[in-house]
Structure 1
């Protein structure tokens, strides 16, 4: 823990850049006239099973989220995004939905959801729910009806069923692979026990893909949208928003299973992702949301490259936001960070949409761990295990704090992932017997999966499960090191990561940085220090190996108590300055 406040104003008048000036280029992004809340929002992701356990069964729940809403108020967030809490067999952490219009008993009831929404509204926080339209659970009544119905029936037309290849249909319809490993097709049996058709599942075999060429599927999801909008939700984060429509004929694909570009296989040619016809679906959804008051929003989780293609999802009559995965995956490198910020702002500005910024979520290694692994990251986008090189925790935390502080000064929307405000790392030494991600099972442990970033939060250091709940053993084990990172330990420490987030996000709101502009520094543009100006605030983050000199000004916020000492910014530190 650090011993001083990060929001204290420190007089650094007299410190100057090497030429005594602080020149900036013309803005690459200007302040937007529209003050809609989602253009500059801070949205906090809650993974319900790991946020807070109110009933003591070892699993987080909606009542636990409601109990801790004041924590989010103190973070100065605008909305909370809830990962799936629907009825589900939980084979993929709730992203296998069996009933889109009810709450799984693990998490409570619809009454608990209504109570959560009502309390959040009282506190000025919007509730955004996760919608999973590409696939359902194999337990969903519609899929069970499809299994019981013959080939060519209306029931089967709700999903992607096809006859197999080969003399007896014994081969899958094409060569597509699942995101979680293995083929993306599973064969069903006929009533007489013989082999029948195959169904598509881009993810686990328990997650059959809907057939979005079928109007009945579209009608069903419009019903689901209205069900939650009528309950007062502020909008939807749309899971795998680029995958709903598949290319006609379902042609073979030799590229990556996730559709990202690889040598010889550019992502825009992937037949299961990014098809033009998907946009008509989101235009129809936008019209539905526009019928409701309160400025409801749609946010796309769309893994699309290159970046300019992603902006198709946020054209004026489609979604409001899209996750910026190019930014999430940026390395600890000044040139790379400048490039992704510039290209993001330029691309999204072309369609008059806000850029979003995110460093962690429930699908990737937490950035406090990522930035401590350097260039030898063993599994990009996947988990870290006890046999892998372990991160440098001190460097990782320093860089995570600096990266977060720099991100908070960017214009656009911010997404936070629960626990990052505590500086939580991944659980990188979790024993194999505790792992529950389907990726781990489907690849025989070759891919560890995402359990390391989904571990239950530490709230109170001296209580069972560090205050997550009264059960001694939560659904995933917590590292012993998390005791020191519990909320109650950090709450009263002015130098804690928690108080860094609180003070910086308060300043972001007070100074209007989310609705601001961006100008690159002339002085630092070819250095290992990234420097930009947003309004009257200058931000510098040192991503190199040597100290860099600061320009004159008063320090508004720092990622480390020594940042700015003697007019110097040390490596892995970030500072906000108000110029004199």
Structure 2
């Protein structure tokens, strides 16, 4: 009998390191802070943690501008702290996944400093993507090599004093690496081994589809930058990289990689999941779906169809450090107070009942909403600054977690210390401490759902059967489990089965609006 890989049906909890727990009172989360809260995560019922980047970084983009891939930023701790965290996580029965950022480095990375100091055409510059500009409209003017845009606004090229331009698909402080250079490929294989040897259980790969660019460097001319086999995404050569990474991972027992893959269709997504490439890719369908029964059924059907030919399992997510928290996404203008939280709890039961793995984002178990009223002076996301405040950016979902107490910093850091992002006073009722003894709290609901899922998973098949349901609802059966989700405002009759867990107590055999239920299949 083949043993099921641990990641296939795991529940993974994303830890935004800077905002999880602060052990040294500097207002920023750190590795020792995470260690101090491992018991909380074990009791929550998750299987693994995913840590956002903790490497040395100037934090031009929240740590996704890495200045050294083989060390820990002093603000977060030391390599010794990391080793202790791995050991303690494993002792608590938790796996540990770390972020790897291979598309770009920080402009403070030694490699880029060497490239800037070296002449055009040198081996040091070939580690990155440098090109000559194009003639501009006026005499002596020069335009970027092409029209490629930065995802954070503005052009994707910055000119050096010597006249060459370097590519950065994100902030100017994040120059893109040249993955056509064998040196870069070998270096990252060694970086993977560095962390695997320290005991990490897997990697989340940032911008996984974007490593290789079209070497013709033609203009986009209005095309979608994410088009498969387009100039910027899902080039055929990227799969060679992941085949070599898979060989590295296969040299260690029970290790995995999950890719952040944004692409334009299921066929391209499936290529990353071939047996000799990545173990998982994020499927963002639920995160992007509106609160709608037909929309949920459509995205679940298409997502499962996309991975079916590969033999891999789907990977589901509702919120992350890059998206508006789903509690806030589910709000209705002029809606009933608490409606968004009711929907979020119902969505959790949908998420956890689907085949495959589920990724949770820190704080969703507390029902935390997006912080939409951060003062401009507090915002740090480059999206906000590069858009001159036109876009709020992602700081609103990165506000530190509230652990205890009645006022800021709510136990996140030392009393009297201001956290790196301000915490709203209205979170006093949402702290872990406030929810701990309340059986009706969101935290209690998450714990109950995760515990029940863990008991059920061994008997659940990899597919599901859609059942007849009212227009506002979706019902499906997955072996011994039936899931019912009512996205409408009015009650609907539950399908047959014995209720196991409901997000809102039913009225007899009626499921309230904006609610979900798990039932033992008849």
Please state how far the C-alpha of 1:326 moved relative to its aligned partner: 2.0
Deviation beyond 4 Å, 4+ runs, structure 1: 390-393
Secondary structure at 1:133's aligned position in 2? coil
TM-score (norm 2): 0.96
Please state if 1:199 is matched with 2:166: yes
Whole-angstrom CA distance in 2 between matches of 1:183 and 1:282: 29
Per-residue deviation at 1:346? 1.5
Indicate how the Cα distance of structure 1 residues 321 and 431 shifts in structure 2: closer, same or farther if over 3 A, else same.
same
Can you give the 5+ residue segments of structure 2 that lack an aligned partner in the other structure?
none
* Aligned residue pairs, count: 518
Which residue number corresponds to residue 522 of structure 1?
A: 467
1:44-84 alpha-carbon deviations (Å, 9 max, x no partner): 10000000011111000000000001111012211100000
Structure 2 SS opposite 1:102 = coil
Deviation at 1:536, TM superposition (A): 1.1
- 2:153 pairs with 1:158: no
Unpaired runs of at least 5, structure 1: 1-31, 191-195, 261-266, 375-389
- Partner in structure 2 of residue 442 of structure 1: 386
Aligned to 2:364: 420
Report what 1:410 is aligned to.
Answer: 354
Distance between the aligned counterparts of 1:212 and 1:521, measured in 2? 44
Counterpart CA distance in 1 for 2:364 and 2:122 is: 48
C-alpha distance in structure 1 between counterparts of 2:8 and 2:433, whole Å: 32
Alpha-carbon distance between aligned partners in 2 of 1:125 and 1:253, rounded to the nearest angstrom: 44
Instruction: Name the SS of the counterpart of 1:44 in structure 2.
Output: strand
1:555 match: secondary structure: strand
For residue 234 of structure 1, what is the aligned residue in structure 2? 201
Per-residue Cα deviation, 1:227-259 (whole angstroms, up to 9, x for no partner): 1001000010000000000012111113477x3
Provide the C-alpha distance between the structure 2 equivalents of 1:544 and 1:477, rounded to a whole number of angstroms.
36
Contact persistence 1:409–1:514 (CA under 8 A): no
RMSD: 1.7
Distance in 2 between residues matched to 1:230 and 1:519, nearest whole Å: 38
CA contact (8 A) 2:212 2:233 kept: yes
- SS in structure 1 at match of 2:316: strand
CA distance, structure 2, for counterparts of residue 162 and residue 169 of structure 1: 16
Which residue in the other structure is 2:511 paired with?
569
CA apart distance, 1:34: 5.3
Distance 2:507 2:154 in 1: 54
Instruction: For residue 513 of structure 2, give the secondary structure of its aligned residue in structure 1.
Output: coil
How do residues 500-579 of structure 1 correspond to structure 2 at under 5 angstroms? Answer: 500-512=445-457, 516-524=461-469, 527-560=471-504, 562=505, 564-579=506-521
Cα distance, 1:392 vs structure 2: 6.2
Q: Aligned residue for 2:55? A: 86
1:450-469 counterparts in 2 under 5 A?
Answer: 450-462=394-406, 464-469=408-413
CA offset digits 1:341-400 (Å, max 9, x no partner): 1111121111111100100000000000001147xxxxxxxxxxxxxxx98651111111
Distance 2:293 2:395 in 1: 30
User: Do residues 493 (structure 1) and 438 (structure 2) align?
Assistant: yes
Q: Which structure would you say has the larger RCO, counting Cα contacts within 8 Å and 6 or more residues apart?
A: 1
What is the deviation of 1:411? 1.0
Which SS does the other structure have where 1:199 is aligned? strand
Deviation, 1:553, is: 2.7
Cα pair 1:40 1:514 within 8 Å, conserved: no
Question: Aligned equivalents of 2:182 and 2:120: distance in 1?
Answer: 18
Residue equivalent to 1:328: 287
Q: Quick one: which of 299, 303, 316 aligns to 1:344?
A: 303
Match of 1:171 in 2: 143
